Amino acid sequence: MVVENKRIPLATPTMHGEENDYIKEAFERNWIAPLGFNCDGFESEMSAYLTENGEYSCLCLNAGTAALHLAVKLAGVKRGDKVLCSDMTFAATVNPVTYEGGVPVFIDSECETWNMDPCALELAFKKYPDAKAVMLAHLYGTPAKMDEIKEICDRHGAVLIEDAAEALAADYKDKKCGTFGKYGVLSFNGNKIITTSGGGMLICENESDRKKALFWATQARENFPWYQHEEIGYNYRMSNVVAGIGRGQLLHLEEHRDKKEEIYRTYEEAFKYLPVTMNPYLKDSKPNFWLSCMLIDEGCPVDPMDIMDKLAKENIEARPIWKPMHMQPVFEGYDFITANGEDVGKDIFERGLCLPSDIKMTEEEQKRVIDTIKSCF
């Protein structure tokens, strides 16, 4: 029996079967505790995927937020240190700065990728020349202007932390997102391009930083026969079981990326005569198209929240664009730096909408989404 108005979600996990093989081995070997052979395998396989020679050191953790926190600690952020952060992102990008007592300074977006604006970043360094680090997020799987941003960070001696939670499998000039900064971060939350149900990964340029992060992530236990602690540590380890899910998912990463792009192209073609554009990207980059988003033209009377409400009535999930951090009540009073006096992130937030991008969505279901959106115009 065909179910009318079957729910169409924004993005959900897509499993393939190989995940069970790795999980089964963990059970058969009774290696259920955190860390273990699946974590080791997931780390080495991800390193090999990210870089041709596997030169980056990866560390499995229980959340992308944990990876961001450890990256902030490795960057040496202390109480009162300024960290220049992407403004239009999820709060998890910024929260770890505050865990260490750092002070986030929010950097506006630019229109070509919706990511951190290099011009605004340069202005921020003029105001805060001693800024300790830059926390950059690649929004919705679209690479930022990494050449410009990395050059600015290097010139000012700031540590670049790259939040690639949404951007696994995305490239900028044939280099994978997550490998531009001194530290990179991935997320495997349930809605990401691949999942471990929950979890994340820290990417380090060198093995010594990885070892230090692992030390902190395992309660900072010193190398004594008894439990001795000389630093504050955390329980940030990834389970050997869920790492097995990640190993099975990684086998299908490129397949997931290609399907995400198909969804984006279908929307792009369907909306070419509407007063909307899709989330933009640079020609010399290759997004992973994690979420397809639309931006309503300036002056058009159609409101994105009205579209979202109409989709909801058809049992179709959509979401607003990330509300910029400088607009969040919790960060009221923190500095916000923009170029040319414009607030690009606020404008994108007010005119944008995230559309269903689930790779299990059928052609008929995507047509249902498209027809519903068209009816709003």
Tell me the mean pLDDT per 10 residues along the chain, length 377.
Answer: 78 97 97 93 97 89 98 98 98 98 98 98 98 98 98 98 98 97 97 96 97 98 96 97 98 98 98 98 98 98 98 98 98 96 97 98 98 98
Distance of CA 161 to the CA centre of its chain: 12
Residue with the two structure tokens 């979890």: 199
Q: What is the pLDDT of residue 82?
A: 98
User: Do the strands 171-172 and 285-286 form a parallel or antiparallel pair, or are they unpaired?
Assistant: antiparallel
Q: Are strands 319-320 and 175-176 parallel, antiparallel or unpaired?
A: unpaired
C-alpha–C-alpha distance, residues 230 and 227, integer Å: 10
What pLDDT score was predicted for residue 52? Answer: 81
Q: Which pLDDT score is estimated for 114? A: 98
Question: How would CATH label the architecture of 18-250?
Answer: 3-Layer(aba) Sandwich (3.40)
Give dist(CA 127, CA 130) in Å, integer.
Answer: 9
pLDDT in the model for residue 2: 46
CA pair distance 15, 244, nearest whole angstrom: 12
Asked if domains 18-250 and 253-375 share a fold, the reply is no
Position 122, amino acid: E
pLDDT score for 218:
97
Give the pTM: 0.96
362 CA to centre of own chain: 25
Which SS3 state, helix, strand or coil, does residue 157 take? Answer: coil
Closest of 157, 284, 187 to residue 178, by C-alpha: 187
Containing 368, the helix (H) or strand (E) segment is helix 363-375
What number does CATH give the domain 253-375? 3.90.1150.10
Domain ranges of the chain: 18-250, 253-375
Sequence-ordered alpha helix ranges (H) in 51-105: 64-74, 95-99
